[in-house]
Amino acid sequence: MTETSPDPLLAEANFDQADFSAETAAGPAPTLSPDTDALAPAHAREVFVAADARRISAFTKWRKRLRWPLGIYTTPVAILIIWQVLAEVGVLGPTYAPAPTSIARTAGQLWQQGVLGPDLEISLRRAAIGLALGLSIGIFTGVIGGLLASGEQLFNGVVQIFNTIPILAILPVMIVWFGIDETPKILIIAFGAFVPMYLNLFAAIRGVDQRLVEMTRTTGARRWRLVTRVIFPGAMPGFLVGLRFSLAYSILGLVAAETVNANSGIGFLITNGQTYLQTNQVFVGLVIYAILGLLADQFVRLLQRLLLQWRPSYEAS
């Protein structure tokens, strides 16, 4: 009688059936309890949760609010309080640093006298015209330089040269070319807004992820759709950074333009106070410039919340 060799497929099937029977007899696989899960490896439980999906307790919210009750204005207000206290006790003399309440009274008097209102209006008009001109040129050249290689060759070298020239250094040239009227003042403000906008927008466009560009091209999208749906949204954070710097440098340009050869504006108010040793009047102008800077920052923050809703960002705890 001959011995037949077992069929390998039949043997494997019997082995799998026996293994399944053993698992069934042993019961379901044990599940990890919360205590046991806490001892599990960290990499097995790590997940990325969007910032909006995190649950923040009411206690945490109130603790943050008590820590910074006025948000970003908490530190400036604390400085004003300390400044007022030091001025009241005589540590800071009125000639060097008058009290904030004294500066506020001087501002009210200048407004009632019809001095502060017209100067503020003139400064805001200069800043608005110069900022609009500088941003228009900066955005146009930044987009052309970022999208086209020929645009980079045309604009980048000139802007890099302008970037190393201080605003105060170019002011005498503007006066020689255009006189002491409004034109050099507006051009100085536009110069301060143009350079940072171009540099940041150019870098933002060139910094868009190339993989997103290639993926969009594989779908058959045309260049206009690629620019409007991928490049411009990807460059939006850099654009807002450039806008913040442009606003700040335009205020610096406004200070430089109104301090030299000006007969109106906040800068002229400061120069006039310096000439007649009216320290309160000088500080009134400085406070107005500081308020303009804070308003510009809040404007950019508002644009960030509106235009970057699609972009999750880091939230500091």
Token readout for 290 is 């500081």
Determine the angle formed by the axes of helices 279-307 and 116-147, rounding to 10 degrees.
40
Span of 46-60, 95-109, 181-195 with lowest mean pLDDT = 46-60
Retrieve residue 263's tokens: 């007969």
pLDDT at 160 over 70: yes
> Would the pLDDT of 57 be above 70?
no
pLDDT attached to residue 237: 92
pLDDT reported for residue 41: 47
Residue 180 confidence (pLDDT):
81
User: Percent of the chain at pLDDT above 90?
Assistant: 45
Confidence of residue 1 (pLDDT cuts 50, 70, 90): very low
Residue 183, both tokens:
């034109």
- pLDDT tens figures, 248-287: 999 888 888 888 777 889 989 999 988 888 899 999 999 9
What is the average pLDDT across 25-32?
47
164 pLDDT higher than 60: yes
| Residue-wise burial string across 217-245, b where 16 or more C-beta atoms lie within 10 A, e elsewhere | eeeebeeeebbeebbbebbbbbbbbbbbb
Cα separation, 180 vs 176, whole angstroms: 8
- C-alpha distances out from residue 44 to 30, 37, 40, 67, 250, Å: 17, 10, 7, 35, 52
Higher pLDDT residue, 174 or 38? Answer: 174
Burial pattern 278-301, b for ≥16 Cβ within 10 A else e, equals ebbbbbbbebbbeebeeebeeebe
Domains defined for the chain, CATH in brackets: 104-209+236-307 (1.10.3720.10)
pLDDT tops 60 at residue 176: yes
Flag the least confident range among 4-13, 171-180, 224-233, 305-314.
Answer: 4-13
User: What local confidence, expressed as pLDDT, does residue 11 receive?
Assistant: 45
* pLDDT (average), residues 23-50: 47
Task: Return the CA Rg of the chain.
Answer: 32
| Per-residue pLDDT at 44 exceeds 80 | no
